[in-house]
Structure 1
Amino acid sequence: MTRGRLPMTAAAAAVLSIALAAPIAAAPQVPSPPPTAPTVDPAMTRTGLVDRVRLDDQRERLSIASASMRRVITVEVLHGSGSGPRPTLYLLDGVDGDPTSAWLTKGKAAEFFADKPVDVVLPGGGTGSMYSDWDRHDSALGLNRWETFLTAELPPIVESLLRSDGVRAIAGVSMGAQAAMMLAQRHRGMYRAVAGMSGCYSTSDPLGHAVTAITVASRGGDPTNLWGPPGSQEWVDHDSLLGAEALRGTAIYLSAATGIPTSADLLAVARAPSVPDALAEAGGGAALESGSRSCTEQMANRLNELRIPATVEYEPHGVHAWSDFQAQLPKSWNVLSRALEIPKAQ
C-alpha cells in the first residue's frame, strides 16, 4: 500500500548530497570533539553475557562480550507484556549511536511498548557504523562488526534469556532504517518483518554512495574503511534496492515525511532557549527529511517494480526529528505486529 506518492526530483536529490542521515534533534549546537574509538580487547575471543542489570519492571541492561568486535556491547531490553514465549523486535538507533538508544531517551519506545506482548532489543553504541561489518579498523569509529553481532552473536544470547518464541522483526530510524533493510535483505528469512523510518536504502549508485559516505564521515569515520573504495562489490552487496528480491516474503513498512514542519515542530522552536539555533536545526531537519522522502520513494518504486508488497506511509508534514519519529512508530507497529501474529488490539 502506497500513500501520497510524489516524484523524485533533482532538487530532492541535491538535498541528499548534504544529508547526514542523522536525527536533527540529536545534532549539537556547538562543534563536538572527535569521537574516541572504542577500545579493542585482543583477549576477548568468546561471545557471552557479562552482566545483567534490572532497571525497572519493564527494562533491563545487558552487557555482552562480542568476540567479533573485541569489546563489551551494551544492549537494553524492554520486556513485553503477558506471560509465555514472545516474539522479538530488534530496534536500531540513528547515526549518533549513543550508549543508550535514543529510541529510549528521545523516542518514547518504553512508553509505547509497555502494553505490547513483544520483547524489544535496543543495542547501544553503533555511532556512524551503518550497523555493518567494516573492511578495516577505523581510527575514529573503531572495530565494527555489527552485522555479525546483530545476526549471529546477539540473538542466541538475548532470545535464550527472554525465552523467545523464535519469531523476529527488525526496524530502525535514519541510519538504523537503512541498516534494518540491509540486514533483512542480506539474511533472508531471519526476520518476519522490517520497518524503515526516514531512511535511505541504496548504496552503490552515486546518490546512495554519497549519503552513506556522508553518514560515516559525519561522525569522523573513513568511508573507505567501511566497504572499500567506491564501486567495490561490497558497496553493491549492501544495496537494498539491488538486493530487493531477497525481501520477497518479508512484511515491509516504509515511511517518511515531507520536511514541512508540524505544529509541534514549530512550537518546539518557539520554546527553545535559543530560537535562532533552533531555527537552524529545524532547517537542517527539513532538508534531511526531504532527502529521506526521495530515498523512500526510490525504494517503494523498486518494490513496486518487483511486485513485492509493502506498506508505505508518506506523511504530509514532519522533519527529521525525534518528535516526528515517535509518530511513525505506531504506524510501523501495525505492520510489524501482524507479521509477528500479535492481535491487533495489542
Structure 2
Amino acid sequence: MIRTPSLKALVAAVAALAVGTAVAPLAPANAAPGTTAEIVVHSASMNRDIPVTVLLPKNRAKPAGVFYLLNGAGGGEDNANWQGKTDVVKFFANKNAYVVIPNQGAFSYYADWIKRDEKLGVNKWSTFLGKELPAAINGKYSTNGRNAIAGISSSATSVLNLAIAHRGLYRTVAAYSGCAATSTQPGQDYIRLVVETRGGADARNMWGPYNGPLWRQNDPLVNAAKLRGVSLYLSAATGLPGQYDNPQAVSKPAVLADQVVVGGVIEAATRQCTDQLASKLAALHIPATYDRVPAGTHSWRYWQDQLHKSWPQIARGIGA
C-alpha cells in the first residue's frame, strides 16, 4: 500500500529542494531544421517578455504540430529544466514537431492568479499558454493546428487545468508525477509547499481563500469529466529507489541522498494522487494511458523516460 507522506515530511522534502502578442527572435527564424531557436514572446496580460525555447522540426517543408513542454516548480528559471537535465534537444532533432518550452513561470502553477503577488508579481499564465503563446507560435512558424502539452511535478497539475480551461486546444495531455487534486487538504498543502515555502508567495493570491470555491474550480480531479475527448497520458513511480537512484547514476553522495530521500517522499505522494485521478477517469469511462512505474523517485531521468514513452501517443495526436 502506498501511504500519503505526512505534511511534516513533505515540508522537509520541499525545504531541501529549495537548496498584443509579439515575438522577438534571438536566433534566425530560418535556422536549419533540427536545431533550436531562442525567442522572446511578449505577454500583454502580464506586460512582460517571456523567453521561450523552440526545438524546430526536422522537416520544415510542411506544417507541423506543436508540443508545449512545461518545466517544473522553478519554471526553467533555474538549472532544473528540460534542456539542462534531459536529452530533449537530441531526442527531438529527428522529429517533425515544434517543441515549445517557456523558460519562466516559477512557483506560479502556470495559473491565472486573481491578485498581484508581492513576490511573484502579476501571473496570467493560463492566458499566456492558452492564448498568447499559441497565437505567437502559429504566427511565426508553419504549424498544422494540432497541439499537445506535457508537464512534470507541479506543472503536471497545470497541464490538466490548461486542457480544461482551453477546451479543444490540446489534443494530447501528458502529466508526469503530478497531483490533480487541489481542493483537498493534502492537495492544498502540496500547492502551499511549492508556492509559499519554496516561492515565498501567497497562494491565496492565486485562487483566493484556502478551501474557497476557486480551489475546487481549479481541481482537475473534481472536474475530471471535462477532460473527456483529450488523449491522456499519466505516469508516476512509487518513490522507492529505482534504476537511477544509485552511485553509478548519481556520482555526488549529497545529490543522491536528496534524490532518494526527498525525491522518494514527493514521488510517493504524486503516485497516490495519480492513482486517484486514474480511478476517477475510469469511473467516468474516460480512457487514459497510465504508466505505474514500480520504482523511481521524483527526478529527471525518470521524466526523460516518460517523455520518450509518451511520445508515440503525443505524436499521433499532433500528426508528427
TM-score normalized with structure 2 length:
0.91
Residue 97 of structure 1 deviates from its aligned partner by: 1.2
Task: List aligned pairs for 1:179-194, cutoff 5 A.
Answer: 179-194=158-173
Provide structure 1 residue ranges, at least 5 long, that are not aligned to the other structure: 1-6, 30-45
The more displaced of 258-267 and 82-91 is 258-267
Q: Could you tell me which residue of structure 2 aligns to residue 256 of structure 1?
A: 236
Using the aligned pairs only, state the percent identity.
35
1:79-119 Cα shifts (integer Å, max 9, x gaps): 11213000000111100113377111112211111111111
Name the residue aligned to 1:92: 70
Alignment partner of 1:341 is 2:319:
yes
- Partner letter of residue 10 of structure 2? I
Is the CA contact 1:16–1:288 (under 8 Å) kept in the aligned structure 2? Answer: no
Offset of residue 187 of structure 1 = 1.6
SS at match of 2:145: coil
Displacement of 1:341 in angstroms is: 3.3
Q: Counterparts of 1:68 and 1:206 in 2: how far apart (Å)? A: 31
Residue 47 of structure 1 pairs with residue 28 of structure 2: no
CA distance in 1, matches of 2:316, 2:37: 26
User: What 5-or-longer segments of structure 2 have no aligned partner?
Assistant: none
Q: Give, in whole Å, the separation in 2 of the partners of 1:20 and 1:333.
A: 34
Question: Pick from 264, 275, 282: which aligns with 1:297?
Answer: 275
2:176 aligns with 197
Aligned counterpart in structure 2 of residue 108 of structure 1, from 58, 72, 87: 87
SS in 2 for 1:12: coil
Q: What RMSD, in angstroms, separates the aligned Cα atoms of the two structures?
A: 2.2
Matches of 2:168 and 2:12, distance apart in 1: 30
Residues 99 and 323 (structure 1 numbering): CA distance in 2 closer, same or farther, change over 3 Å?
same
Instruction: Write the letter of the residue equivalent to 2:137.
Output: V
Q: 1:60 aligns with which of 14, 37, 43?
A: 37
User: What is the number of equivalent residue pairs in this alignment?
Assistant: 313
SS of the residue corresponding to residue 157 of structure 1 reads helix
1:147 aligned onto 2:126: yes
Partner of 1:224: 204
C-alpha distance in 1 between matches for 2:212 and 2:248 = 43
Call closer, same or farther: CA 1:179–1:304 in 2, change over 3 Å. same
Q: CA offsets per residue over residues 130-182 of structure 1, 9 Å max, x none? A: 00011111121121110011111111111221110010011111111111111
Per the TM alignment, residue 15 of structure 1 is displaced from its structure 2 partner at its CA by: 6.3
Q: 2:292 aligns to what?
A: 314
**1:69 aligns to what?**
46
CA shift at 1:208, angstroms?
A: 1.3
